[in-house]
Structure 1
Amino acid sequence: MAKPNKKGPTRTVDIFCAKCRSPLYKYRKGGKGALVKCFIERIVEDYTLSVGQCPQCGQIFARETMIRGAPAYKMVGGKVRMK
């Protein structure tokens, strides 16, 4: 399988916790679909203290995984909002 493009898209989105609205990531997202996964190399700013856990309310919102040979975070449905 092909790896995702390292440079990636230029459009950035802000990702927030759905429970407490705390900022989690600033991410270079491609396409206009739902946020299912975040490739680690495309994260511009990371506001979290531990992997996949909201720094304010402590809710688990993602799991670490490998997608197409690249490290990524797989989002848990309904736990994050995107703006």
Structure 2
Amino acid sequence: MAKPNKKGPTRTVDIYCAKCKVQLFKYRKGGKGALIKCFKERITEDLTQVACTCPACGQTFARECLIRGAPALKMIGGKVTFK
């Protein structure tokens, strides 16, 4: 399978913890659908200290995995929101 485009989309969204509303990171998202996965190379600003864990409430919001051969974060349903 093809790897995701590194440059990717120019539209940036802010991703927040659904529980405590703290911003987790800024991400270059393509399309208008739900946020299911985040490719690590598209994250422009990471505000978490521990990977996949909210810095404020300690909730795990994603799992690290490989998607199409590229490292990504697979989001757990209902744990994050984006604007």
Q: Do they fold alike, i.e. is TM over 0.5?
A: yes
| Identity value in percent | 73
Consecutive unaligned residues of structure 2, counting only runs of 5 or more, are: none
For 2:79 and 2:66, locate their aligned partners in 1 and report how far apart those are by CA, in whole Å.
20
Determine whether 1:60 maps to 2:51.
no
Letter in 2 for 1:58: G
Aligned length: 83
Query: Deviations 1:17-37 (Å, cap 9, x if unpaired)?
Result: 000000001000000000000
Query: Deviations 1:9-55 (Å, cap 9, x if unpaired)?
Result: 00000000000000001000000000000000000000000110000
CA RMSD of aligned residues (A): 0.3
Letter in 1 for 2:8: G
1:78 maps to what in 2?
78
Letter in 1 for 2:23: P
Task: Tell me the CA shift for residue 56 of structure 1.
Answer: 0.2
Alignment of 1:8-23 (within 5 A): 8-23=8-23
SS in 1 for 2:73: strand
For 2:26 and 2:44, locate their aligned partners in 1 and report how far apart those are by CA, in whole Å.
5
Consecutive unaligned residues of structure 1, counting only runs of 5 or more, are: none
